[in-house]
Structure 1
Amino acid sequence: MSFELAAEVAARGFAVSLALEPGEPLAVLGPTGAGKSTLLSVAARLLRPDAGRAVLDGRTLFDLPGGAWLAPHRRGTALLAQEPLLFPHLSVLENVAFGPRSAGADRHSARDTARRWLAEVEALELAGRRPAELSGGQAQRVAVARALAADPRLLLLDEPMSALDVDAAPMLRRLLKRVLADRCAIIITHDVLDALLLADRAVVLEAGRIIEEGPVRRVLERPRSRFAAGLAGLNLLTGTITGDGILAADGPGAITVTGTADPGAEPGLAGIAVFRPAEVSVFREAVHGSPRNTFAVTVTDLEPHAGHIRIHAGSLYADITAAAAAELEVAPGAGLYFSVKAAAVGIFPA
């Protein structure tokens, strides 16, 4: 079972091509307006693209502009949206049984399937209720059961954990990880944990285009885009690769940032420098010594972060203790110096 998609939606500036193998869930990351919802709508055939082709397990779903367009009820996909979208007039059991019934199962077997999946999401005791009697987290668990009961060949998940109770999320992650082991899945998420635990590969969308892709851990540990770096909690500077680092064209100005170069980081290529906020030391005066990078910055914001204070200085971040922040008298508008050792900076091709 595999899935291939290439589609263009001119009005939205969307042009994406991707391929999935079974048991290789794909996490789709990107800022608001990047095209993530458009991707899911096209894959589910809820939005007709201007041109493109989609093939699921050898079956052509659409081939446009002049070819096939398979009706949604024959699509073999299930979309789990951020909102549960349960049928208000049906009980929880009948909501979950709807998929099997639509595929031709008789009432008895459809209800058996529904009970099995309700048990899997620990919601069997809700079978007789109507959606209006459920909490938001309960309704989302039922929506997960309904999607899985349809036995889709392609599962489309839009922020699947966003409405779940804290206690229910780990259970659902374990269930989805098991279920996705033998089918194709596209997972829209802003949660690093969901990307790491549920997906094998990740793509980063921006302005309707894929700007970065690869194994999830590589995308998060060696991001090539500012969005992926921010998601992973990393600093990222872009520029041109030099012999010992990059000539940064953003952030604190045109300066050379030294670091440890990736084998593919050849001088003259566009490149990025990546380093963790926890590796940044903060001073009132410029410092020198062992190979290090020092940036003059102006504080723009402060926020608590994992037991520390995260200092925002434009596009750069540093994590320091509350005591250090008090000693430095850190406040918005303050002029400081960020310093990071060259050994803590990774240099990669952009």
Structure 2
Amino acid sequence: ANNQMRAVLEKIKLVAGTDSTTLILGESGTGKELVANAIHQNSARSHYPLIKVSCAALPETLLEAELFGHEKGAFTGALRQRRGRFELAHRGTLFLDEIGEISPVVQVKLLRVLQERQFERVGGNDKIDVDVRLVCATQKDLRKEVSQGRFREDLFYRLNVVHVVIPPLRQRQEDIMIIAEHVLKTCSGKMNKTLKGFSSVARELFLRYSFPGNVRELENMVERAVALGRDREAIQPSDLCGFQSCPYTGGVPQESCGFCSEGLTGQKREERPLTSLAAAREQFEREYIVSVLGRVEGNRTTASKILDISRKALWEKCKRYGIPSNRNGSDPDDEGE
């Protein structure tokens, strides 16, 4: 592990020995859930449950019932009493992933549980005491969310007692091949394949690529390569990208290929005409936005998070550069813009 990850691992050891509420920060795919697992497994609560909830996966009403449980008849479909995740995690750890997505109503209830260590089920009046260590994770900048009025400041300070920041994969290049070799060994065993590691071209590609999807993208890429790779041969770039026709096999660049979108085609790039810095910057910006949108299937909400700009700013740039909107309609928020 590089120095940044060594510091993260050291912090995990220190944090695990306490009961402090912990906030894990990092881009998508960096391994925030693995850090939560490590904190729980190395804590005094490891013999009790680690309960996980994805806050982004549920609408407000369902998330409230999921976290706090509900009484019979609390709402349509509540045919029996149900214990929530807080109760299930009693004496253990509750991991709330994508905490930045919770609504103001749930924020208030969560703040109250942290302050009073008790809550009521949805539709109930009885107070339930709970002893839970809370670990949260987000890829959002919660300070920015607070300043823009989308996240309660008092809750932010309650959650941010200790924070662990996981660096993106592009900032720890020395870890890339270590992870890749480990995944190769694991997947080869599962698929009963014998591969001769990675070719020199594939290794070079790994170290030049930015991995916007971080460790998750690397793992998926290697698993794909093992599935497509020929037994007793080294893994080639075309195995990693998964396209039958790509520049490494004599084909044309693929729009949705991460390597191609970053110009990593194994071919000498054509020299661009000399131009002003402003024009060159605009050309790069347009190409990069198109690349990111292609990688997230045109979803502008996801793209704006990766680019760290507002959706309005992304929409304006797309309009300025003539970048068409998503035709698949997978981003409903685009309607009416």
The TM-score with structure 2 as length reference comes to 0.30
Q: Which has the higher strand share?
A: 1
Q: Which has the higher helix share?
A: 2
The TM-score with structure 1 as length reference comes to 0.30
